[in-house]
């Protein structure tokens, strides 16, 4: 069995490696969004389609959001310091909330622009360019969402999960624009284009609301989700069954992005020497970190009691 110090060092190295993977994924998302924004903007202007231009604005906001995520992920994995003894994980939550506000602002712009185009419609042109651009954009966005979902699941990054959420909403918006602009070309009803812009704005605002809720949730020290709590309880109960500790109580958790902070009271015999009690406390901490590598655990040692509070 590996010494505890070596095991902790290996866990830290594994977490650093995952952080680098998450940063690369965020940079890829920003680069893809930049390409999509440029392509849609050119197609929208050439085709006189405000719906396609609106989608370009949404992609431009994605560039800023994904770039901010890349920076936030790097800063969130910085080592704790004197001013931030619990680390910097909440930077990701701040970035997610700010991302939601930024994207919400673009949604308001799209809403206003769509209303303007409904009132004063303009004829569309270059159907092949605009429809082809939206079709390719949809395929590229689907591939990006699959990549972000896989990486977020692997790294546990809430910033990447948020990225995947709003790019997933972009798929629906792209499909709506594709179908609507096609209908506008076929029917000659150019007001459809303005209505689609308003529909895209609705998608954007809904996605922005979800991002703000996700960021605020982590800032409010929400408890660990059920699956992580089950893993924690399972690890500690295993130590109780093995006789390492007599019992435990006062388990508290809070999340900050991928980091899970755990506070737990363990019960040991009152006559146990202090050195042995601390050794068993270390065993509990190592078991918790084994169950959840992204955890930071604080273990309190209490004298066993018949009815723990």
What CATH number did the domain enclosing 255 receive? Answer: 3.30.70.1350
CATH number at residue 196: 1.20.1510.10
Domain boundary among 159, 190, 219: 219
Tokens of 26: 């965020």
Is residue 208 located within the same domain as residue 267? no
> Radius of gyration over alpha carbons of the chain, in Å?
25
Q: 140 and 245: one domain?
A: no
Reported confidence tier of residue 284, pLDDT bands at 50, 70, 90: very high
Tokens 């007001």: give the residue: 191
Compute the distance between CA of residue 45 and CA of residue 34 in angstroms, rounded to an integer: 17
Domain extent for 280: 226-303
- Give the pLDDT of residue 1: 47
Spatial separation of the C-alpha atoms in residues 270 and 306, rounded to whole Å = 13
Token pair recorded at residue 307: 């009815």
Residue 257 lies in a domain: yes
Residue of 274 and 190 predicted with greater confidence? 274
- Token pair listed for 209: 């609301």
Query: How far is Cα 302 from Cα 277, in angstroms, rounded to an integer?
Result: 9
The answer to whether residues 82 and 123 belong to one domain is yes
Q: Using CA atoms, how far apart are residues 261 and 202, in angstroms rounded to an integer?
A: 36
Q: What is the pTM (predicted TM-score) of this model?
A: 0.62
Q: Is residue 308 part of a domain?
A: no
Does residue 196 belong to any structural domain of this protein? yes
> Do 209 and 93 share a structural domain?
yes
150-207: pLDDT as tens digits:
998 888 777 788 788 778 877 877 777 777 778 777 777 777 767 777 877 787 788 7
239: in domain = yes
- How many domains, in total, are found in the chain? 2
Of the candidates 169, 189, 219, which is a domain's last residue?
219
The per-residue pLDDT for range 112-140, each reduced to its tens digit, is 777 877 777 767 677 788 888 889 999 99
Kindly state whether residues 74 and 193 are assigned to the same domain: yes
Domain termination site, one of 163, 197, 219: 219
Same domain as 172, residue 117: yes
Q: What's the whole-number mean pLDDT along residues 58-73?
A: 79
157 and 196 in a single domain? The answer is: yes
Q: What's the gap between Cα 100 and its chain centre?
A: 11
Whether residue 61 is contained in a domain is answered as yes
Q: Does 292 lie in the same domain as 215?
A: no
What are the pLDDT digits (tens) for 230-265? 999 999 999 999 999 999 998 999 887 677 889 999
Under 8 Å between Cβ of 240 and 246:
yes
**Which token pair is 199?**
């529909």
Q: Are residues 247 and 120 in the same domain?
A: no
Nearest to 163 by CA among 184, 146, 179: 146
Q: Do 215 and 251 have their domain in common?
A: no
What is the residue whose two structure tokens read 């918790």?
288
Tokens of 112: 């206003």
Q: Which of 22-36, 84-98, 251-265, 292-306 has the lowest mean pLDDT?
A: 84-98
Q: Do 200 and 79 reside in the same domain of the chain?
A: yes
Residue 309 resides in a domain: no
Asked if 29 contacts 4 with a C-beta cutoff of 8 angstroms, the reply is: no
User: Is the domain of 159 the same as that of 259?
Assistant: no
């Amino acid at each position: 069995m590996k010494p505890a110090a070596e095991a902790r060092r290996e866990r830290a190295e594994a977490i650093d490696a995952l952080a680098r993977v998450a940063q690369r994924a965020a940079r890829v998302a920003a680069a893809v969004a930049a390409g999509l924004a440029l392509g849609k903007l050119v197609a929208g202007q050439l085709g006189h389609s405000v719906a396609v231009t609106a989608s370009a604005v949404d992609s431009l906001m994605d560039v800023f959001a994904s770039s901010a995520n890349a920076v936030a992920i790097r800063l969130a994995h910085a080592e704790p310091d004197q001013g931030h003894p619990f680390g910097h994980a909440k930077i990701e939550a701040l970035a997610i909330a700010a991302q939601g506000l930024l994207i919400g602002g673009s949604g308001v712009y799209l809403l206003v622009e769509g209303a303007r185009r409904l009132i004063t419609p303009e004829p569309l042109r270059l159907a092949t360019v605009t429809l082809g651009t939206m079709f390719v954009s949809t395929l590229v966005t689907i591939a990006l969402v699959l990549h972000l979902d896989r990486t977020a699941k692997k790294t546990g990054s809430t910033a990447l999960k948020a990225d995947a959420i709003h790019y997933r909403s972009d798929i629906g918006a792209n499909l709506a624009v594709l179908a609507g602009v096609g209908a506008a070309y076929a029917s000659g009803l150019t007001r459809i284009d303005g209505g689609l812009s308003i529909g895209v704005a609705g998608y954007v605002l809904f996605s922005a609301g979800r991002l703000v809720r996700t960021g605020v949730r982590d800032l409010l020290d929400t408890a660990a989700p059920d699956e992580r709590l089950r893993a924690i309880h399972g690890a500690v109960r295993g130590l109780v069954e093995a006789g390492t500790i007599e019992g435990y109580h006062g388990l508290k958790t809070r999340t900050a992005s991928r980091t899970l902070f755990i506070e737990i009271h363990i019960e040991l015999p009152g006559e146990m020497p202090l050195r042995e009690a601390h050794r068993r406390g270390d065993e509990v901490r190592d078991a918790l970190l084994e169950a959840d590598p992204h955890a930071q655990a604080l273990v309190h040692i209490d004298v066993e009691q018949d009815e723990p509070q």
